[in-house]
Amino acid sequence: MARVLITSAIPYINGIKHLGNLVGSQLPADLYARYMRGRGHEVMFLCATDEHGTPAELAAAKTGEPVDVYCARMHGVQKELSDGFALSFDKFGRSSSPQNHVLTQHFAGRLADAGLIGEVSEKQVYSHADGRFLPDRYIEGTCPNCGYEKARGDQCENCTKQLDPTDLIDPRSAISGSTDLEVRETKHLYLKQSQMRGKLEAWIDSKTDWPILTTSIAKKWLNDGDGLQDRGITRDLHWGVPVKKGDADWPGMEGKVFYVWFDAPIEYIAAAREWADEQGLDDSAWERWWRTDRGADDVRYVQFMGKDNVPFHTLSFPATIMGSGEDWKLVDYIKSFNYLNYQGGQFSTSQGRGVFMDQALEILPADYWRWWLLSHAPESGDAEFTWENFQMSVNKDLADVLGNFVSRVTKFCRSKFGEEVPAGGELGPMETALIDDLTARIARYQDHMEAIEVRKAAAELRAIWVAGNEYLQSAAPWAAFKEDPARAAVTVRLSLNLVRLYAILSAPFIPEASATMLAAMKTEATDWPDDIAGALQTLPAGHAFEVPEMLFRKITDEEREDWQARFAGVRS
């Protein structure tokens, strides 16, 4: 039995996430976690809400709540939605947790002692009306290049030109709209990533099994332009982890907090500590996952994220870990994803364009979404959500293939043999051929799951469902029953065992339907099938079952058209 540590990119606190966010990290991470648990491995699956930074403060201001109250409420909302999608986190923590404060300050102290943090004087825009320094993106004005009146201080969204706040014509605060701005000098701490370039490059080069997407992005940031740059790790904000060296004050850094991209990845570690504290366990319980000098040397650590997060997880966070000089676990494999687009354009949180997690669960159960998203995961390139494709996939894969198989065999058995597995007959050539076919297909399915090839695994799982349907259709127990009831009994007995087998194999993708199938078969025997022939005899003759409710219903054309219109514009 192996030990597997799994983390998915930490979602930001300001708002409900759309389906593109979900499939870019949390959902495939859950797929892998469920699979690895199903194979008998010990798994620690961690995530959290990312709660610091200016966007959190602004979102709280819009609701009229104190920022800590807003973050606590939104953490609850995001946790409820993750539960709704059956995401099986061992801990869904918070980057604002006391554990993360302590660990972030600890790492900063270690990096400072190693000479990897330096003070840099900068000039930043200060808003008198807001009483604060403004990050570049919270300064608006007219673009000097194209004349767009809502250009940001870092980039014009209209012409994409990179900008500095001082380039803008008639700059104003995006928070208050005030033009009472001035440029002031302030000091910030920088992580000297450039000094870590050699170590980081050697480490990345050693990861020969990483996806091309992950490696190419990491090397681009290492080598483009002037190479890896030092990065600011503090901000002039009120909400965040106060700047300290361990538990000691940091002279000259009073009133400042650590930058969100410094403290957020450290929350991966802190989440495990939160878990241990909640369980009343001592430090060894979480350190065995994260400290290689305390048991984590045999852990396989896998991260899941969208491609926009790759630079921070291949460079900045590893620089923090390596630079500490301590024996922390580094990631072994990073599974990165491209973007999921929506109906010919992009999902947009600001415009409410696309389907968001809460809306998805209001119209259909989680398994419908899980299946489509995972079977269309944006691995080799960007993927496209369309309502037509969603309808077709649900109706054909879930309703017509899996759902139809379960319904046909259970209802037929009830009508001819009663609600128990029938006795009689022996396996014949058709059953032997099916077992051989399934043995080969399940081996391929396992290989894809081990390699985290999500779409290939989904395709193979569907083919496994299809094989059962084709067998049932060819064996035709409804016809055989008239002449040879024992022959029909063999087919039905094998097919009822197939329902159980499908429940186990499908659980990582569609856990709720899997639980329904197992409950209908009245079994708790969920061992992963190493011997397919044996697995198809697990439910013996006389074993009771019940006909389950319809596993999946079809989506009508009217529903599809309604949803397509409803989710095209701005959500209220």
Q: In the structure, what pLDDT confidence band is assigned to residue 226 with cuts at 50, 70 and 90?
A: low
Listed residue (439, 498, 503, 444) closest to 471, CA to CA: 498
Domain that holds residue 136: 117-191
427 shares its domain with 300: no
* DSSP at 550: P
216 shares its domain with 308: yes
Task: Give the per-residue pLDDT at 3.
Answer: 98
Count CA atoms within 13 Å of residue 438 on its CB side. Answer: 29
Listed residue (33, 32, 40) closest to 1, CA to CA: 40
209 shares its domain with 185: no
pLDDT surpasses 90 at 165: no
422 shares its domain with 522: yes
Please give the mean pLDDT across all residues of the chain: 95
Listed residue (42, 63, 52, 43) closest to 10, CA to CA: 52
- Longest CA–CA span in the chain (Å) reads 93
Neighbours of 143 (CB within 10 A): 21
Per-residue pLDDT tens digits for 173-208: 988 899 999 999 999 999 999 999 999 999 999 999
414: in domain: yes
Task: Give the per-residue pLDDT at 570.
Answer: 57
159 is in an annotated binding site: yes
Provide the 3-class DSSP secondary structure of residue 508.
Answer: coil
Domain boundary, last residue among 321, 337, 353: 337
Neighbours of 42 (CB within 10 A): 13
360: in domain: no
316: in domain: yes
Task: Give the per-residue pLDDT at 230.
Answer: 92
501: in domain: yes
349 is in an annotated binding site: yes
146 is in an annotated binding site: yes
Domain boundary, last residue among 176, 191, 206: 191
Classify strands 383-385 and 3-8 as parallel, antiparallel or unpaired: unpaired
184 shares its domain with 208: no
465 shares its domain with 329: no
137 shares its domain with 266: no
30: in domain: yes
CATH code: domain of residue 155: 2.170.220.10
Give the residue-averaged pLDDT of 245-257.
94
Instruction: Say how many domains are in the chain.
Output: 3
177 shares its domain with 202: no
The pTM of the full predicted model, rounded to 2 decimals, is 0.94
Per-residue pLDDT tens digits for 374-387: 999 999 999 999 99
Percent of the chain with pLDDT over 70: 99
pLDDT surpasses 50 at 263: yes
Give the residue-averaged pLDDT of 496-521.
98
Give, in degrees to the nearest 5, the angle at Cα 378 between 395 and 300: 110
237: in domain: no
502 shares its domain with 462: yes
CA atoms of 36 and 304, how far apart (whole Å) = 15
372: in domain: no
Domain boundary, last residue among 142, 172, 191: 191
311 shares its domain with 413: no
pLDDT surpasses 60 at 571: no
Task: Give the per-residue pLDDT at 157.
Answer: 80
pLDDT surpasses 60 at 572: no
88 shares its domain with 129: no
309 shares its domain with 210: yes
564: in domain: no
Contact 108, 315 (CB under 8 A): no
Per-residue pLDDT tens digits for 320-373: 999 999 999 999 999 999 999 999 888 887 777 899 999 999 999 999 999 999
